[in-house]
Amino acid sequence: MSGIFAEWQPRYAEAGISTFPVRDKRPAVKGYLKLGASTSEQLALKFHNDNAFGFACKPNRLTILDVDTKDEKVFADALADNGPTPIIVRSGSGNWQAWYRHNGETRRVRPDPSKPIDILGDGFVVAPPSLGRRAPYQFVQGSLADIANLPTRAGPPQTTLVYNRTTPLSL
């Protein structure tokens, strides 16, 4: 009998997502941000009993809105700010994820310190149906079949200040 990672790796691969094993919410392998489909497949054979896995956001062209609270109102407000998406995930601790198509986002932990929200356009996330410490991660809405139709976030764009070094900066 195989673990959840070995069972679900081919399903994620079919959706175009390379996965890797995760233990205690940490990648179980090195180079996880750069691995491709064939390496992911090999890892599923090697770590066939593992029950948690994740994926790197940027290489898989995904941005995850990570709402670190069980509060449904905070999550609803986050969706109102960032736009609807067909994929909603509940983490093993009961918190929320909303999945979007990557649009140049970076990893931004608490961009607004007053809100328990991270924008994960880089780095990695644990994926459903991984076993969490308290409960399994689960798709609450949507499925891997919706990956191809994900929208980009409608939230405020990330701003990068660009200037010419020979010209004084004026704001």
Mean pLDDT confidence for 67-88: 97
- Three-state SS string over the chain comes to CCCHHHHHHHHHHHCCCCEEEEECCEECCCCCCCCCHHHHHHHHHHCCCCCCEEEECCCCCEEEEEECCCCHHHHHHHHHHHCCCCEEEECCCCCEEEEEECCCCCEECCCCCCCCEEEECCCEEECCCCECCCCECEEEECCHHHHHHCCECCCCCCCCCCCCCCCCCCC
Summarize pLDDT for 105-163 with one digit per residue, the tens: 999 999 999 999 999 999 999 999 999 989 999 999 999 999 999 999 996 544 433 33
Summarize pLDDT for 1-24 with one digit per residue, the tens: 689 999 999 999 999 999 999 999
Structure tokens at 41: 């497949």
Query: Whole-structure pTM over 0.85, yes or no?
Result: yes
Summarize pLDDT for 82-104 with one digit per residue, the tens: 999 999 999 999 999 999 999 99
Residues 6+ apart with CB under 8 A from 23: 50, 52
| CB-based contact 104:121 (threshold 8 Å) | yes
Instruction: State yes or no: cis peptide before 59, omega within 30 of 0.
Output: no
State how far the Cα of 94 lies from the Cα of 54, in Å rounded to an integer: 17
Does residue 42 have a pLDDT over 50?
yes
